[in-house]
A and B are shown apart, each in its own frame.
Chain A
Amino acid sequence: MREVAIIGVGDTRFGELWDMGFRDIGIAAGLAAVQDANLAAEEIDALYVGNMSAGRFIEQEHVAALIADYSGLARDNIPATRIEAAGASGGLALRQGYLAVASGMHDLVVVGGAEKMTDVGDAMAAEIQSSSMDQQWEVTFGATFPALHAMIARRHMHDFGTTREQLASVAVLNHLHGSMNPKAQFQRAIDLKTVLNAPPVAEPLGMFDCAPSSDGAAAVVLCAMEKARKHTDKPIKILASTQASDTLALHARSDITSFKATHVAAQRAFKLAGLEPKDIQVAEVHDNFTISEILAIEDLGFFPKGQGGRAVVDGQVSIGAKVAVNTSGGLKARGDPIGATGVAQVVEIVSQLRGTAGKRQVAGARYGLAQNVGGTGATVVVTILGAT
């Protein structure tokens, strides 16, 4: 297996993009990444597209072919593959692209993630998103995606004394980061009171504990490390790309206060990269709900189990702390176009490691990590990146 680098990144703004259809956002991010890598189309060997549910959001399947076509890459009939793992579709697409290059099968691939969620109403969007859970044994009985995470939060509060204020602090911090990100869906900082007083969605989670529905796309260009410097002075190396699975239904887990798949994927990733959690300066984690960020920073090994909430409140994941989490604004403030999220996380880490993150820059960022989750932790992808 040879080393793989990221030589170009691109993304759209995330939000309600009324003027852009699925094809438009997919192409926009891909084009931006290819331009960033200063590539010609004929240099690209393959395309990987992460997308959760175009079939239900826009009644279109076969979306890898669609993107290949509209990006012009189909002109050269390159292989185009669509990857689905609910919320982890983007991260998983990246892993598939990484494996293709690392194995020597391809030299240069484009990996994109895209989702167009606002062409359906809120009720339908929620129903589609709920298909990441166990349809037969969770959804049929009244489980919603927020409700399952609310039960995780409730148990975490019961077992470790985590408080609503600690949960709310995650939202406050991520909105603060979002206010520094011109591509974020929400660019206003919010205060703790707003979060605590927001209408309940599924107790103890309220409206501001939950990431929004969004449109958006993100893309990266992967290149064999040995050829990367032909295209860029600052290739960012993929030090590890790992993946783990767990039971589909949350109730089939032995413990719901952590995602074992995060823990397993992270351990494997740190081993492959030859690093430890303390070596990471910047991390993008899957905060589709505030409790998810608390679980993530515990499961990744940044903080002891049960201490995640306190760490957030104590400023230990802010910019300037030992690990800055979700500098992009996270899913909460940056937005969560499901299939795009995993790729967008990596775009943010690359920006940080290149030193181009502007107001959100983490000084001296050398190693970064992205954690991308499908469903309630049935799939987790962890990517560790390093500046060269």
Chain B
Amino acid sequence: MQVGIVSYGAYVPHYRITPQEIGRVWGSDGELMSKNLLIFSKSVPSPDEDVITISVEAARAMMRRTKVDPKLIGALYVGSESHPYAVKPSGTIVAEAILTSPNITVADYEFACKAGTAAIQTCMGLVGSGMVKYGVAIGADTSQGAPGDPLEYSASAGGAAYLIGSEELIATLNHTFSYTTDTPDFWRREGQPYPSHGGRFTGEPAYFKHIQAAGKGLMNLAKTQPTDYAHAVFHQPNGKFPTRVAKQLGFTDKQIEVGLLTPQIGNTYSGAVPLGLAAILDVAKPGERIFVVAYGSGAGADGFDVTVTDNIANFNRGAAPTIKEILQNRTMIDYATYAKFRGKIRMQEGEVS
């Protein structure tokens, strides 16, 4: 049976900080960082937000746009590298918040920035095999970068949710292809607050190698070439890597333009490709084909060949904010407020007295 996207929803926190402001505090040239990374601002979650609240907002937006009864959802997965609990799944709270029945399977995923797309693949399998009628796949993060580290200029927060089914699809998921190896380019040990990375090792042997392999494998499987696609979205840790890998694979700047959000909101990690795809679905026309390749450090890339259907013309997109509307809804903050919000300031411990 044909499997695809029935609905989608997105959420990005309200606050933003600029690389210039971050550089100011650490004695770095924030302006230069901004130019090198092609990031103008990144999103900052409020102290009362986390991957669970972001996932709920995205999933609720997804449900507002469709008439599907949440009780028919048979599976729900939240992919993130900043789940609020090390043990206790984010997914159970999200499931109750969107009114699923208890007759559902839930688990949390982790695979750096591609945990959300891994969730989409799982839902494709469950729906395609007839095991569930609908599955929900969410990619969301409130990623942290160590103070003063280059990652601090890009690590941000946001997420998107996808309702996967086999009926009334707004887009078909024609093919998926993944490429995975053991490559330690970026990691975080249990209990550590900030991730570590291999510097330039994160480029060629990691991001570029895996996306290229998955991308080529996908086009091989789908028997397509870059010109078949109206849009393409790649994992976007900064504003420059996706442009380069796109070119390497034969895609143009124009094709990746709509889905490239990192310059405005920073790298939302597991939310990055799901949000980029949402931006494309906000404007895509029936019949258009979309090329999607997510990348997660550690390392792996998931590719998807997507075709927009006629149903998108009747899709109730207006029931929730579009990516464009989300991007406009923002307030700038300074580094002190950012550090306070992100829990980087050591607070008084102990009980109330």
Q: Does A358 contact B (CB under 8 A)?
A: no
Measured as residues with beta carbon below 8 angstroms from the partner, the interface class of chain B is: under 10
Chain B residues numbered 57-82 whose CB sits less than 8 Å from any CB in chain A: none
The complex places the Cα of A123 from the Cα of B352 at a distance, in Å, of 6
Digitize B328-353: 1 where CB-to-A-CB distance is under 8 Å, 0 elsewhere: 00000000000000000000000011
The complex places the Cα of A121 from the Cα of B352 at a distance, in Å, of 8
Q: Does A127 contact B (CB under 8 A)?
A: yes
Digitize B31-71: 1 where CB-to-A-CB distance is under 8 Å, 0 elsewhere: 00000000000000000000000000000000000000000
Q: How far is the CB of A351 from chain B (nearest CB, A)?
A: 37
Interface of B is mostly: loop
A-B residue pair count with CB separations less than 8 angstroms:
8
B352 contacts across to A, CB distance below 8 A = 121, 123-124, 127
B353 contacts across to A, CB distance below 8 A = 120-121, 123-124
The complex places the Cα of A225 from the Cα of B41 at a distance, in Å, of 79
The complex places the Cα of A127 from the Cα of B353 at a distance, in Å, of 10
Q: How far is the CB of B248 from chain A (nearest CB, A)?
A: 51
A121 contacts across to B, CB distance below 8 A = 352-353
Q: How far is the CB of A59 from chain B (nearest CB, A)?
A: 13
A120 contacts across to B, CB distance below 8 A = 353
The complex places the Cα of A80 from the Cα of B66 at a distance, in Å, of 65
The complex places the Cα of A325 from the Cα of B333 at a distance, in Å, of 48
Digitize A123-134: 1 where CB-to-B-CB distance is under 8 Å, 0 elsewhere: 110010000000
A123 contacts across to B, CB distance below 8 A = 352-353
Q: Which residue of B lies closest to A122 (CB)?
A: B353
Q: Which residue of A lies closest to B353 (CB)?
A: A121
A127 contacts across to B, CB distance below 8 A = 352
Q: How far is the CB of A246 from chain B (nearest CB, A)?
A: 29
Q: How far is the CB of A125 from chain B (nearest CB, A)?
A: 10
Q: Which residue of A lies closest to B48 (CB)?
A: A142
Digitize A157-183: 1 where CB-to-B-CB distance is under 8 Å, 0 elsewhere: 000000000000000000000000000
The complex places the Cα of A121 from the Cα of B351 at a distance, in Å, of 11
Chain A residues numbered 72-101 whose CB sits less than 8 Å from any CB in chain B: none
Q: How far is the CB of B47 from chain A (nearest CB, A)?
A: 12
The complex places the Cα of A127 from the Cα of B352 at a distance, in Å, of 9
The complex places the Cα of A120 from the Cα of B351 at a distance, in Å, of 12
Q: How far is the CB of B351 from chain A (nearest CB, A)?
A: 9
Q: Which residue of B lies closest to A123 (CB)?
A: B352
Q: Which residue of B lies closest to A121 (CB)?
A: B353
Q: Which residue of B lies closest to A120 (CB)?
A: B353
Chain A residues numbered 109-125 whose CB sits less than 8 Å from any CB in chain B: 120-121, 123-124
Could you list some 8 contacts between A and B, CB below 8 A? A120-B353, A121-B352, A121-B353, A123-B352, A123-B353, A124-B352, A124-B353, A127-B352
Other CB < 8 Å A-B pairs besides A121-B352, A121-B353, A123-B353, 5 of them? A120-B353, A123-B352, A124-B352, A124-B353, A127-B352
Interface residues of B (CB under 8 A from A): 352-353
Interface residues of A (CB under 8 A from B): 120-121, 123-124, 127
Q: Ordered nearest first, which 3 A-B pairs have the shortest CB separation?
A: A121-B353, A123-B352, A124-B352
